[in-house]
Chain A
Amino acid sequence: MADFIRLIVAVYFTAGLICLLLPGRTRGLIWALALAVSLAGFLSFVLIFQQRLSYCSAFLLWDGLSAVVALGISFFGLVISVASLSTIPSATNQYYGYLLWTLGAGVAAVVANHFLLLVVFWGFLAITLYLMINLAGPQAAYPAKKTLIIVGGSDSFLLLGLCLLYVLTGKLSFSEINYQIHSWQGAAAFLCLTVAAFAKAGAMPFHTWIPEISETAWVPVMAFLPASLDKLLGIYLLARVCLHLFSFHPSLWLLLRLAGAVTVVAAVFMALVQHNMKKLLAYHAVSQVGYMVLGVATGTTVGVLGGLFHMINHAVYKCCLFLGAGAVERQTGTSQLDDLGGLARKMPVTFVTFLLASLAISGVPPLNGFFSKWMVYQGLVEAGRSGQTDWVVWLVMAMIGSALTLASFLKIIHSVFLGRTTNQQVNEAPSSLRLALVTLALICVVFGLFYLPVPVSRLLGPATGVPAPALSLSEPLIFIVWGLFLGILIFFLSLLSKKRYAAVFVGGEKLSQQMHVSGTEFYQGVKQLPFLRRMYAGAEKRVFDVYEVGKQIVGYVTELFRAAHSGVLGAYLSWLLFGLLVVLSLFLRV
């Protein structure tokens, strides 16, 4: 089996290289190659997954957790390969080459047992991320640089953390270590690894690269990397670190829970006031990480299962949402909420899939997002049963975050698909994109209605290593299904009734273009509330941006050193003399 996995990784890399070497004109050929390789990769992982094997050598580690993440990576690789041909404007060869390399490096990082292997492929992923963002042209240069500095910077934390761990334990592979933290070095190693996982997944405070790249990077790149793949990888690392690598004191759990809950709420408040569809989605890509971190940080079986389930769910619906946004942008030429409206009739498939994914991310039952959030909440309540009292705070923050998510997605739905209709001619998205959208939306429904038999037991059961606890929500679920059934019945009966069509009524006045109420103004009132006003002002000045803060600190430090470089020869000579005296006095003392 180890040989087989190595073969898949090698095929990904070779095919990527071939794509890069082929000339950019041969779009069809490159697409066919990428599609064939990603399909073969996905099918082989399905095959391996079904055997339910586990394998462990010096370099490779294949257990339930890496199996499900590797399966997810190959699946999203396939979906994005299908969807991207019609959405990327140019540079097909580079795009697909980087895509396949990302897949290979992602799979390799997930199955790595040796620290060195992980660090190498993790670093490689940061480079392909940078390259893929950079494809969008010169306007993407700054966001790409920022991403490389944040994600690449976090890689050094990864290296530092693993080195510390090596010093502490003397071992170099995941499977051999279960370190009990009882010293500050251990805690530092844990925090370093957490930073790397957070930066990859986009949890606060290392999230700022995702909103930054959202407006300029290509939409399939957004749907592939920050929305699905980086979440899988980041949460994989977090789960590996928290569940297998360390066992530690509850106070560190508390820190993780705090980070998770703050990420949920703060990012969703930023999402509420955005004017650009892609940027709004990007803030949600940050906010949803909070649930995953919270789930893993509950430390209970239900909670961890919920966190991992949410990771998969998020990858599915956020991929669908970004691709939907890409379809809208492709067909209308804009992603500004102010300029869109009434697309539901012109792009029905995009609308329905986007709506389903929006309801799923907002946790409306019976879609998949509801069940994973519910499991995270159950995990928190269960943690509370063992005597802690902090769970109430996290529970409330997570639940209010869910309401805020719904609110901001209704803003998109209203501004883009419903509301006023624009007169311009718009066609439905191309069929390859529609195929991807429909597949992802269907998964949202299936993973919701059959959440217990399909994703929780089959996919994630082996990942946590314990049998799924009693998580029966079957009763409300059956009620909802019957309710849906009755509702649809009434709806179709209602279509038979007599109707009269008339113009919109605005109190007897004539409807004019000025009367259009855009969704972008919905939450101006929220921005004016006393405490939030200050937070929003701070966010606009980028006070909470780790990149800007880091830049200022680095600038301050270099400023200190710069002061010494006055350019006066006398000053330099006296410094030399001073140094000489210090060295001499040291020698003389010895």
Chain B
Amino acid sequence: MVSFLLWLLLSLVFFSLLGMLSGWVDRKITARIQWRVGPPWWQNFADLTKLTAKEVVVPVTAGPFFFLAPVMGVAAVAVTGAVVLSALSGTGGETDVIVIIYLLVIPSLALILAGSSSGNPLASVGIARELKLVLGYELPFILALLVPVVKTGTTRLSTIFHLLQGPAVLSFSTIVALLVALFALLGKLGWVPFDVSEAETEIASGLLIEYSGWLLALFKLMKWMLLATGITFLVFYFLGGLAGPLTAVVKYIVLLVVMVLIKNTNPRLRIDQAMKFFWGWLTAFSLTAILLAFLGW
């Protein structure tokens, strides 16, 4: 039992650090694209420290979930990370991909409950959009994650991690599914072009409008951890990351840079456009990927 706690704490620390560094990569590349210099590598650590020192302003309408939701989000991502890490180490038991899919919904759930319990009308607009976004990306995300299941005939994570290596990685269906899953991850992170629920320029951060101080810091941390956990999971799930540590790092960085580039070269979509994109094109692509997987491509 105690060893599980250690895994969880390891996951918390590891993915926080990795997430903040990845967040820095994001900020640096964004700055370079916009012809700015960009922040130093420790900027995110500094931001987090500063936020925790600030005063917390709580709206009078807030209930206890206002405080509980950010903690819940961070804990959920840490659990997801721990599940992935333990499956990687080979001690994973029967843990399967369905658990990951369900666990990865909880961060969005935490954001929605947080916005809802703040009682702010702008946050309500944000919730309405976030909920529709969740519905949108969840369908192609599930379909994409089923491609390796079809290929290997099992949902067990550790088996999939081990089986999908070498030539199997380079199959056509895996690459299509990976692309779809990357877009879904963008949606989960609320990155442009899917940042309607926060949309600083129209609803002033929407869901997070009432958050400040360490509560906001927790949500920032949750997003960074989600970034790191999400990409790590995709690297091992689709790209055979167990082949070697160096190649795994390279694959991680490539996926991260691709996401940052998508983020920086696209405008914000309206929520109906985002839903049509997810339920239309991306679903069609992921269905094609599943068909290809059945055909053995």
Q: Does A345 contact B (CB under 8 A)?
A: yes
Q: Are the C-beta atoms of B57 and A403 separated by less than 8 Å?
A: no
Q: Does A472 contact B (CB under 8 A)?
A: yes
Interface residues of A in 395-441 (CB under 8 A from B): 395-396, 399-400, 402-404, 406-407, 410-411, 413-414, 418-421
User: In the assembled complex, which residues on chain A have CB atoms less than 8 Å from the CB atom of B109?
Assistant: 364, 406, 410
B142 contact from A400, A483, A484, A516, Cβ within 8 A: A400
Q: Are the C-beta atoms of B132 and A403 separated by less than 8 Å?
A: no
Q: Are the C-beta atoms of A504 and B279 separated by less than 8 Å?
A: no
Q: Does B76 contact A (CB under 8 A)?
A: yes
Q: Does B214 contact A (CB under 8 A)?
A: yes
A421 to B62, CA, bound (A): 10
Q: Are the C-beta atoms of B59 and A500 separated by less than 8 Å?
A: no
Q: Are the C-beta atoms of B83 and A505 separated by less than 8 Å?
A: no
A519 to B131, CA, bound (A): 11
User: In the assembled complex, which residues on chain B have CB atoms less than 8 Å from the CB atom of A451?
Assistant: none
Q: How close is A511's CB to chain B, nearest CB, in angstroms?
A: 7
Q: Are the C-beta atoms of B94 and A526 separated by less than 8 Å?
A: no
Q: Does A453 contact B (CB under 8 A)?
A: no
User: In the assembled complex, which residues on chain A have CB atoms less than 8 Å from the CB atom of B243?
Assistant: none
Q: Are the C-beta atoms of A517 and B125 separated by less than 8 Å?
A: yes
Given contacts A410-B112, A515-B121, A523-B132, contact A479 B82 (CB under 8 A): yes
Binds B, one of A163-171, A215-223, A378-386, A574-582: A378-386
Q: Are the C-beta atoms of A365 and B116 separated by less than 8 Å?
A: no
Q: Are the C-beta atoms of B116 and A396 separated by less than 8 Å?
A: no
User: In the assembled complex, which residues on chain A have CB atoms less than 8 Å from the CB atom of B214?
Assistant: 494, 497
Q: Are the C-beta atoms of A389 and B294 separated by less than 8 Å?
A: yes
Binds A, one of B16-24, B63-71, B224-232: B63-71
User: In the assembled complex, which residues on chain A have CB atoms less than 8 Å from the CB atom of B71?
Assistant: 487, 490-491, 494
Closest Cβ neighbor of A402 among chain B residues: B102
Q: Are the C-beta atoms of B59 and A504 separated by less than 8 Å?
A: yes
* Interface residues of A, dominant DSSP: helix
Q: Are the C-beta atoms of A475 and B95 separated by less than 8 Å?
A: yes
Q: Does A101 contact B (CB under 8 A)?
A: no
Q: How close is B74's CB to chain A, nearest CB, in angstroms?
A: 8
Q: Does B210 contact A (CB under 8 A)?
A: yes
Q: Are the C-beta atoms of A506 and B275 separated by less than 8 Å?
A: no
A381 contact from B55, B67, B154, B279, Cβ within 8 A: B154
B113 contact from A418, A500, A525, Cβ within 8 A: A418
Q: Are the C-beta atoms of B279 and A529 separated by less than 8 Å?
A: yes
Q: Does A482 contact B (CB under 8 A)?
A: yes
Given contacts A475-B95, A478-B4, A504-B210, contact A418 B121 (CB under 8 A): no
Q: Are the C-beta atoms of B79 and A404 separated by less than 8 Å?
A: no
Binds A, one of B29-37, B145-153, B159-167, B252-260: B145-153
A505 to B61, CA, bound (A): 11
Q: How close is A199's CB to chain B, nearest CB, in angstroms?
A: 30
Given contacts A487-B72, A494-B214, A525-B271, contact A404 B117 (CB under 8 A): no
Q: How close is A478's CB to chain B, nearest CB, in angstroms?
A: 5
Q: Does A448 contact B (CB under 8 A)?
A: no
Given contacts A365-B99, A399-B142, contact A472 B94 (CB under 8 A): yes
Q: Are the C-beta atoms of B8 and A400 separated by less than 8 Å?
A: no
Q: Are the C-beta atoms of B116 and A410 separated by less than 8 Å?
A: yes
- B74-86 vs A, Cβ < 8 Å mask (1 yes, 0 no): 1110110011001
Q: Does A344 contact B (CB under 8 A)?
A: yes
User: In the assembled complex, which residues on chain B have CB atoms less than 8 Å from the CB atom of A486?
Assistant: 8, 75, 78
Q: Are the C-beta atoms of A505 and B209 separated by less than 8 Å?
A: yes
A385 contact from B61, B131, B135, B153, Cβ within 8 A: B153
Q: Does B124 contact A (CB under 8 A)?
A: yes
Q: Does A374 contact B (CB under 8 A)?
A: yes
Q: Are the C-beta atoms of B138 and A400 separated by less than 8 Å?
A: yes
User: In the assembled complex, which residues on chain B have CB atoms less than 8 Å from the CB atom of A404?
Assistant: 135
Q: Are the C-beta atoms of A495 and B79 separated by less than 8 Å?
A: no
Q: Are the C-beta atoms of A419 and B124 separated by less than 8 Å?
A: yes
User: In the assembled complex, which residues on chain B have CB atoms less than 8 Å from the CB atom of A142?
Assistant: none
Q: Are the C-beta atoms of B55 and A478 separated by less than 8 Å?
A: no
Nearest 8 CB-CB pairs, A to B?
Answer: A517-B124, A487-B75, A418-B116, A483-B75, A515-B121, A403-B138, A483-B79, A472-B94
User: Which residues of chain B have a CB within 8 Å of any CB of chain A?
Assistant: 1, 4-5, 7-8, 55-61, 63, 65, 67-68, 71-72, 74-76, 78-79, 82-83, 86, 92-95, 98-99, 101-103, 105-106, 109, 112-113, 116-122, 124-125, 127-128, 131-132, 134-135, 138-139, 142-143, 146, 149-150, 153-155, 204, 209-210, 214, 271-272, 275-276, 279, 290, 294
Q: Can you sample 27 A-B contacts with CB below 8 Å?
A: A364-B106, A365-B103, A381-B155, A392-B146, A392-B150, A399-B101, A406-B105, A410-B131, A414-B116, A475-B4, A476-B95, A478-B4, A479-B8, A479-B83, A483-B82, A486-B75, A487-B71, A494-B214, A497-B56, A501-B58, A501-B59, A502-B59, A504-B59, A505-B59, A517-B124, A522-B128, A526-B132
New contact pairs (13) apart from A474-B93, A483-B82, A528-B272, CB-CB < 8 Å: A344-B117, A345-B63, A364-B106, A389-B294, A399-B98, A418-B116, A470-B94, A487-B68, A502-B59, A506-B121, A519-B124, A523-B131, A525-B132
